[in-house]
Amino acid sequence: MYQKSQMGIKILSKCFSGLAAMLILFSVQAQTKVFDKIIATDGSGDYVSIATAINMYSNSRKVFFIKNGTYNEKIFIDAIKTNIRLIGESVSGVIITYNDYAGKSSFSSSTADSYTVRVEGNGFYAENITFQNTATQAQAVAIYTKADTIAFKNCRFYGYQDTHYADNGRQYFLNCETRGDVDFIFGNAAAMYDKSTIISRNRKGGYVTAPSTTSLTSAKQGGGTDYHGIVIKNSILRAESGLADNSCYLGRPWDTNAASVFLNCKIGSHIKPEGWSVWTTDPLAQGYNNYTTAFFAEFNNTDSTGNPVNIAQRVSWSKQLTTGDTALYNIHNYFLGWNPTLKTSALPAPLNVHIQNDSLKWNTVAGVRGYAILRNDSVIGFSTTTGFSIAGKLTQNYRVKSVNPYGALSAASLAVSTNIRVIDETSIKGQIYSSNDVLYVPENEKTEIYNITGALVKTIYFGRNISLSVIPKGIYIVRVTYKNGNILIRKILK
Residues annotated as part of the active site: 162, 183
DSSP type of residue 394: -
E-state strands within 217-270: 217-219, 225-227, 230-233, 236-239, 249-251, 259-263, 266-267
DSSP type of residue 299: E
Given a contact cutoff of 8 angstroms between Cβ atoms, the answer to whether 444 and 484 are in contact is: no
State the burial class of residue 454 (Cβ atoms within 10 Å of its Cβ: 0-12, 13-18, 19+). Answer: middle
Distance CA(217)–CA(347), nearest Å, equals 33
- Residue 377: which residues within 8 A CB-CB, separation 6 or more? 397, 399, 412
- Residue 269: which residues within 8 A CB-CB, separation 6 or more? 239, 245, 246, 303, 304
DSSP type of residue 54: H
Nearest 10 degrees: Cα torsion 55, 84, 197, 334: 130
Distance CA(263)–CA(434), nearest Å, equals 56
Given a contact cutoff of 8 angstroms between Cβ atoms, the answer to whether 142 and 163 are in contact is: yes
Helical (H) or strand (E) element with 370 = strand 370-375
Helical (H) or strand (E) element with 50 = helix 50-55
Distance CA(131)–CA(435), nearest Å, equals 60
Given a contact cutoff of 8 angstroms between Cβ atoms, the answer to whether 164 and 184 are in contact is: yes
Q: Is 343 helix (H, G, I), strand (E, B) or coil?
A: helix
Give the full edge-to-edge strand order of the sheet including 236-239: 69-72, 94-98, 130-133, 156-158, 177-180, 197-200, 236-239, 266-267, 302-303
Distance CA(450)–CA(58), nearest Å, equals 44
Q: Is 235 helix (H, G, I), strand (E, B) or coil?
A: coil
State the burial class of residue 267 (Cβ atoms within 10 Å of its Cβ: 0-12, 13-18, 19+). Answer: buried
Scored b (16 or more CB within 10 A) or e, 55-86 reads: eebeeeebbbbbbbbebeebbebeeebbbbbb
Residues paired with residue 164 on neighbouring β-strands, in sequence order: 143, 185
